[in-house]
Structures are given as structure tokens and as C-alpha cells.
Structure 1
Amino acid sequence: MKAGIFGVGVLVRQVFNWQSHSLGSTPFEKKLKGYHLNENDIKNIYREALDKLNKYSSFHSYLGLRSFLNENFVLNSHKIKLLSNNELSFYFVAGLEFGNNFKTKKAE
């Protein structure tokens, strides 16, 4: 579950990158509640970040990340209750901060 929450942070970093490049700002950051997140916040952020990426890029973009999230976040979301809100926030922010270290292969 920790890896899945980390992955949601990586996903949000990709949204920030798209917004920063296209808009010159990152309005999605307002949804992050000062990084004080709970179970419902993480699930909503995941859903909304996927929606934004679908709007900004093709459905086939970030397939590796989407697959990772399906295996480590979606299929294990029932385990999220085992983590405290501080742990949820920690792993999310860690993914957000390390998000630029992960590269995706360009579709040919």
C-alpha cells in the first residue's frame, strides 16, 4: 500500500509538470490541503489526477505508471485504513518529490 500511495504522488507530479508547462502554474496543488491528507483525500486525488492526465495527454500515456498504480494502489486500497494520516501524507509527498526521477518511454 505504501508503494501505491507513493505512486499517487508520482502521478500528481506528472499533473503538476503538465500544468506548469502548459499554464505556467499548478492549480491542482490547491486540492492537496496543505499535504494533510486522509484516506478519502488520497482516493479523490488519485481519481482527479487521472482525469487531468487524460485531458492533458492520450489515454496511452503513462501506461507503466497506471499499471503500477492498478497493482499497488487500486487493488490494495482496502489496506489504506492500516496507515495513519501522517503515513499517508508522508508517502504521498515522497512520491511527489521523487516524481521527476521516473521517466516514461515515449510511444513510437
Structure 2
Amino acid sequence: MINGRFVRYLNANDLRQLADYQRKVDHWQKKLDLHIEHRVNAGENQRRQQMNAAFGPDGSYVKSFKGPFWEEQHLNTPPPTTLPTFAPEQIAEVPTEQYPDPPAFCLQ
């Protein structure tokens, strides 16, 4: 069946082409998934950097609460922690590839 209509049975060459096409599609899918993951990680890194700048140990939010009252109320409170950012290799741009062309027998 090609595009919903019977054309012919697949021969050995068609099956090899189909398997090769499937390998190319699988590779394309993995690259696309990695591309999306790295884009999401880059956005998450920006969010974490902004949160750390505001709420981290030296953040603007924490700095606004310095003084005797703050020190007295929070003697046993641990200092705020920061969110770790992703490693550069987890946010590096992954180039996308063009979707593979189908086997020749599919275009008949």
C-alpha cells in the first residue's frame, strides 16, 4: 500500500530502502528531540539565573532584608540556595536536519 492504494508487493530492494529510510527517520527524530531539549534547557537556564539573581544568597530580595530585625528573626535559618544551571554542553545549539526523503518506490 502506498498512499492508501495497492501498487505492488515490496521486493528485497524495497525492504532495504525502507529499512534505510527508517534509520534516517530515527536519526532525524533523535536530533530533533535533542534540539528541543537543548532549547528548553537554555530557557530554563535563563529562568534559573534570574531567580538566583533575585533570591540567591546575594540576590536583591535577600539584600533588602538585612538589619538587626532580620538577623534576630532568622538566626537559625539556612542561607538561601541557588538553582544550579545546566552545563554548556546541555544548552549548546543542536542544528536541525531536513526530514529525509522517502524511498523512491513511495513516489510511484
Bigger relative contact order (CA 8 A; separation at least 6): 1
Q: What range describes the TM-score normalised by the shorter chain of this pair? A: under 0.3
After TM superposition, the score normalised by the length of structure 1 is: 0.24
Structure with greater proportional helix content: 1
TM-score (norm 2): 0.24
